Structure 1
Amino acid sequence: MESALAEIEFLALSTNRVEVLRLLAEDRHTRTDLAVATGASQATLGRILRDFDDRSWIRRVDGAYVATATGELVADGFLDLLDIVETEVDLRPIVDYLPDAIDFDLRRLDDATITVPSGTRPNAPVGRVLGLLRGASSIRVFSHAFNEGSLDAIERRVTAGETTFEGVFSQHAIDAVADDEGLRRRLESLLDAPGATLRVRDGDIPLAVTVVDGTVHLLIRDTNGVLQASIDTDDPVVRDCARERFDGYWAEASALDSGDLG
């Protein structure tokens, strides 16, 4: 293990080494190509290429360099580790708030957008989903809550015929909206719109997920219900998971109309 850790350290201590190995694992490159791509000096590249050659990670072909089979193996493994650690660093500030109900590999969030509240933008996570809603052609939601901003944006777009909406909510979420006169009017308007279908589920819905066209957006709250972050991604696996979860809740729920608001 110590020798393997030493090789990992050898790569990790130099951004140029990582980048050169990545490039050579992808395709054949000359030293000039590598210098242009990395900005490294010829002296630095010379040391890197000698070190890689000593490890049999590269071979020379017609005046250029390319990774060997073991060089590709090391590059793939190291870059996978790098992606995982970068994703972990992004998620670290909010990991304590991630719901247990998330059932996909967190590595699928490597390209996700994470939005957190700030002193100047305390509602930034909600603002993120509102931005997605403004251009939506189809919207699906399953959630334990229906926030005012989303309800307003969805109702306006659906009644204008600009989008279609399907939503399944917990009974608690619907009751909270029905108890507020202004929100209740918005919900009644949405229920009367031909482009909207809503259902209510008796059981809990542990996630707050909005699927806007091909983008999945999650609102992340702490145990006290305080908004901590939002995550959105176009990852197809996450999208499939959201679709399956929505379909499951939808099948268990009953139709909601204005007369059910009490």
Structure 2
Amino acid sequence: MESALSEIEFLALSPNRVAVLRHLAQERRTRTELARETGASQATLGRILRDFEERSWIRRTEGGYVATATGELVAEGFLDLLDIMQTEADLRNVVPYLPTDALGFDLRHLGDATITMPSGTRPNAPVQRLLGFLRDADEARAFSHAFNEGSLTVIEQRVTAGEMTFQGVFSRRAIDAVADDAGLRRRLESLLDASGAALRVREAEIPLAVTTADDMVHLLLRDANGVLQASVDSDADAVRQWADETFERYWAAATPVDREDLPS
């Protein structure tokens, strides 16, 4: 264990070592190419290459260097660790609000996700991020414990104009909250009448607020008091697959929303 930790430390303490090993694990490189791609001096490169050769992580070939099988193994494992730590750092501020028990994918798939936080000047930035996707999408689907005014407005306007199609599964509480507001109720009824929309209601709670707009999956994150804390959006295949499968599961277990069933 100590030997392995010391080797991890050996790499971690030098970005140049990591960069050189990454490049050599991809394909053969000459010293000149490594110097250009990493910015390391020839003296530094010389020390790194000697250290790597001593560990049998690289070998000389055709005037250059290339990673050995064990060098590729080390590079893959270390770079995976770097990706994990970067993803953790990106998610650290929002992980208390992520419904991780309901997320059916490895959090590493959020490595390239965009996180939007409210600010003093843009307190509604996460919702505005979602509305931007909805304004451009040809097709949208949602499953959520809430149907916020902004989303309902954009969806109703674009669906009734024939610019997009929409399917949504919402908790009973979400539908009742919209129906209780006269202005939002009119938009909801207009949406229910539109041929390009289909809404269903789920009696049980939905622990997420997820919208898929074309290929983008967007999650709105709130704290235990319902206060908006952030949004996360991703177009990773695994995240989209999870969103599609979860939507289908909720959709199959829900019932159509009928205007006559709305609370008066």
TM-score (norm 1): 0.98
Shift of 1:248: 0.9
Amino acid at match of 2:29: H
Counterpart in 1 of 2:50? 50
Counterpart in 1 of 2:134? 133
Counterpart in 2 of 1:150? 151
Q: How does 1:58-137 map to 2 (within 5 A)?
A: 58-99=58-99, 100-137=101-138
Gaps of 5+ in 2: none
Counterpart in 1 of 2:180? 179
Shift of 1:168: 0.6
Counterpart in 2 of 1:211? 212
Q: How does 1:5-44 map to 2 (within 5 A)?
A: 5-44=5-44
Shift of 1:103: 2.3
Shift of 1:186: 1.0
What is the percentage of aligned positions where both structures have the same residue?
73
Q: Distance in 2 between matches of 1:121 and 1:45?
A: 47
Q: How does 1:200-239 map to 2 (within 5 A)?
A: 200-239=201-240
Shift of 1:258: 2.2
**Deviation sequence 1:206-246 (CA, Å, 0-9, x none):** 11000111111111111100111111111111111111111
Q: Distance in 1 between matches of 2:104 and 2:223?
A: 18
Gaps of 5+ in 1: none
- After superposing the two structures, state which structure 1 stretch, 39-48 or 201-210, moved more: 39-48
Local SS of the residue matching 2:102: coil
Local SS of the residue matching 2:142: strand
- After superposing the two structures, state which structure 1 stretch, 43-52 or 74-83, moved more: 43-52
Shift of 1:142: 0.3
Runs of 4+ in 1 over 4 A off after TM superposition: none
TM-score (norm 2): 0.97
Local SS of the residue matching 1:122: coil
Local SS of the residue matching 1:169: strand
